[in-house]
Amino acid sequence: MSEVRVRFAPSPTGSLHIGGARTALFNWLFARHNGGKFILRVDDTDLQRSTEESMKGILEGLKWLGIDWDEGPIYQSQRIEEYRKFANKLLKEGKAYYCFCTKEELEEMRKQAEKEGRPPMYTGKCRNLTKEQIEEYLRQGKKPVIRLKVPQQGKTVVHDIIRGDVEFDNSTFDDFIIMKSDNMPTYNFATVVDDYQMGITHVIRAEEHLSNTPKQILIFEALGLEIPQFAHVSMVLAPDRSKLSKRHGATSVQEFRDQGYLPEAIVNYITLLGWIPKDGEEIFDVSKSIKEFTLERVSKNPAIYDVQKLTWINGHYIRNYDLDKLTEVVIPFLKAKNFIGEDFDYDYIKKIVSVVREREKTLVDVADAMSYYFTEVNEYEEKGVKKYFTK
């Protein structure tokens, strides 16, 4: 096998949630297991929704989990000329074309398709415009999109390492857009260009992207590029098997951190969301994951998020954590509760941590259990006061 090169490509439009963290982790484990490279790429072409704050949170979350990258972060927004270059190549070779259809025309196509009981697909109206027609539209100041000429017959097959072969009829795709009228690439087009130029050998991502994969394969084929191997990991679902959301509790790495979970416990738990070591053990460190991780052993079945199991695993790590390391990570929680200030007796805190950690499951629990040692007694049980302090 040539050098394995994988990537994690988050969009900086929100926080690093548990599903994204698992995708990053599986890519990272695969790279480390195979002695390959893990590349961090930032899909930030949606300039209106992308924020520096979100990107900062994602980077901090990855670092906290111990997921380091070999190259990057590489920002798509800084690579726009590359996408235009590849789009122009397709135009020149007749594999893509300018489309000048207005929103009104596209809406009329949609309505007509509905009326005839067909899927709402682009009809290919601009597919065969002459050079003169195109030049005239451009002279008029019309801003076109660029569409890929999709083969109207045959099938596109996704050879998936986890799911096996998945077939798609080309007739189910219209000539989809690869460059928008503002000269920005669509997600699928930018992804293909990036994966090619970055030498990505394996695309490991969530199952929700499976529907994008045949379109990306069609782009790879149109450009005459080697297609990477694909592996689509099942979704992480809530206990009721619905899509995981905030109503099911903490779902972002930052929330887990704030609630007193240890990074090693989070990594252990999310590794179990679709994979398990050969011996079936549920508590294991990352070195074991790196040694044993293969895509062939990733489950096809949806992973069910279970916060109780995560908390149980976290409790195990708290009980077995290096005492000095545990004391260091508990101190910020003690400060947040105003149990201690900037000046404190480290050895005293360490002794208390060694006592209370045996029963607690999060760092918040540990800090709460230590309150007795830092809170002045100012209330007395009435009967006890009368018994010992009355004449």
The whole-number pLDDT of residue 180 equals 97
Cβ-based neighbours of 182, under 8 Å, separated by 6 or more = 143
The whole-number pLDDT of residue 385 equals 43
Amino acid identity at 315 = G
Number of domains in the chain: 1
Spans in the chain with pLDDT lower than 70: 1, 246, 248-250, 376-391
29, 30, 31, 55: which is closest to 42 by C-alpha?
55
Q: Is residue 327 part of a domain?
A: yes
CATH of the domain at 353: 1.10.1160.10
Amino acid identity at 93 = E
For residues 178 and 148, the answer to whether their CB atoms sit within 8 Å is yes
For residues 40 and 69, the answer to whether their CB atoms sit within 8 Å is yes
The whole-number pLDDT of residue 298 equals 97
The whole-number pLDDT of residue 29 equals 99
Cβ-based neighbours of 345, under 8 Å, separated by 6 or more = none
Please work out, in degrees rounded to the nearest 5, the angle formed at the alpha carbon of residue 82 by the alpha carbons of 78 and 88. Answer: 140
369, 368, 366, 362: which is closest to 255 by C-alpha?
362
Q: Is residue 331 part of a domain?
A: yes
The whole-number pLDDT of residue 388 equals 44
Tell me, what DSSP letter sits at residue 3? P
Cα torsion 87, 89, 90, 91 to 10°: value is: 90
What span, in angstroms and rounded, lies between the C-alpha atoms of 205 and 188? 14
The whole-number pLDDT of residue 281 equals 96
The whole-number pLDDT of residue 344 equals 93
The model's pTM is: 0.92
The whole-number pLDDT of residue 55 equals 95
3-state class (DSSP) for residue 12? coil
Q: Is residue 369 part of a domain?
A: yes
Cβ-based neighbours of 209, under 8 Å, separated by 6 or more = 232
Q: Is residue 358 part of a domain?
A: yes
Q: Is residue 29 part of a domain?
A: no
The whole-number pLDDT of residue 389 equals 43
What span, in angstroms and rounded, lies between the C-alpha atoms of 13 and 208? 17
Structural domain containing residue 251: 246-373
Q: Is residue 202 part of a domain?
A: no
Alpha carbon of 106 to those of 99, 121, 216: distances in Å? 11, 9, 23
Q: Is residue 146 part of a domain?
A: no
To which residue do tokens 């009104």 refer?
Answer: 104
Q: Is residue 345 part of a domain?
A: yes
Cβ-based neighbours of 354, under 8 Å, separated by 6 or more = 323
Q: Mind telling me the catalytic residues? A: 246
